[in-house]
Structure formats: structure tokens, C-alpha cells
Amino acid sequence: MYKNIGHRLASNLSNGYFNEDFSKHHVQLSTLQRTILAAGSAAVSLVDPFRGDMIACLGETTGKYSLNYCLEKMKLSDEGHKILLEKPRINTKTIDMTYLENLPDGTLGKTYHNFLKINNVTPDSRDHVKFIDDIELAYVMQRYREVHDIFHAVLVMPTTMLGEVTVKWVEALQTRLPMCIGGALFGASRLRPRQRQLYIDHHLPWAINTGKKSNFLLSTYFEKRWDQTLDDFHREMNIQPLV
């Protein structure tokens, strides 16, 4: 269902758009600085898992090898390779939200739009990558951040703690990012008793199965699939929705 054609956007998605942002926000770190930031952000993230800035910092300072793994996985598919070549961005400047709103119910784009509206979130909230020196790996991390909410939408998982931990398991198994592994392992400790039972009985086994058996979601050029039905997408990606 991937369409290798132009897709509807509100502005240009050229490679240079990301390169410019990278140059503007990049911060060079020494080995010592990187170690201190990694340790500090890990400690704060454990105490307060809603500190998005600390989780972002943790991901950037500990994710080099996992990002290399993701980069190589993306290169293996035409769709992933196209993403790396064009470096598209997902925010309200690049995505025509009115177009998504007017798509038929049950399409990927409408599902994503509804997810943002219901959960009162915006694609503009994702931090810029700062502490990754390699521009290709920096883009992979940026892409991961910007499609995270789309993962929630297509996996039909809300932004509750249970939904977040479930998505983190899928991401951990697919990307191998330490911050995702940590979020999956330690996030469950914050679940309420009712949520914990659902997690053990249903969400955890489903997330592990989905993470291992579904296609590599980070290689999905979502912007070229907005009009694809969610049912079609699930079949293509080998995802069995959790009922």
C-alpha cells in the first residue's frame, strides 16, 4: 500500500529541512559529559517517567548502537530507504491536518488525527535531537520521536500508563533502544492493580508477540499511507489488534 509518489503536505519536506535543524540544535559532548547526562537523565526518568526532556536526553546519550541497528534495518526496505533519503518530518507545519481530518473513518490518517484530538496531544511537542553527532543517527532518533504517537494510534493504544508501557514493549523489541527497554521494564511498576492484571494477562503477551512478529514499524512511510485503511495496514504489517 506504500505509494512512491508525492503526498499531501503543508510545506516542503526536503532533506535540507532536517539538516538545518540538526545544525541549529546540535550540541557536542565530551565522553565525560555524555556519561554524566546519561546517568542523570536515567535517575530522573525513573523517579518521574513523565519528564519528556529527561527521557529524550537518555535516549540520545545511550542509543548509539541501537540507532545503528535501526538505521541498517531501515536501509533493508525501499520504504525505509526512501525515508532516510528524504528525511520527512511530522509536525503541524509539514502535515496537512485538515486533510487528515477529512479522510474517511478507518483510514490511517483519520485514525492518527482522532488519536491526537482525543488525547489532546500535538505532533509539535517532540524535542529536537541535540546530543547525537552523526546526522543519520540523529535523524533516526528524530523520526522515532515523531512517529511515536502514530505507533500509539495504529496499535490502538491510549496515552494511559498501561498504553504507554505496552507501546514501549513493542518499540523495545523492534528498536532495541535502551530508553524503550527501561520504559517497558520499569513502567509496569507504576500500574494500578487493575491495570497490572490487564497488563500481565493481555497487554504484555500481546506486545511481545507484536514486537517480535510485526514488520519493522520505523521503516513505514506513514505520510504516503494516510488513505490506507487501518485493517489493511494491520494485515500488511502482520499486526493482530488487541481486543
Binding residues: 148-149, 152, 164
Q: Which residues are annotated as a binding site for Zn(2+)?
A: 148-149, 152, 164
Is the CB of residue 119 less than 8 Å from the CB of residue 7? no
Nearest Cα residue to 145 out of 119, 179, 169, 107? 179
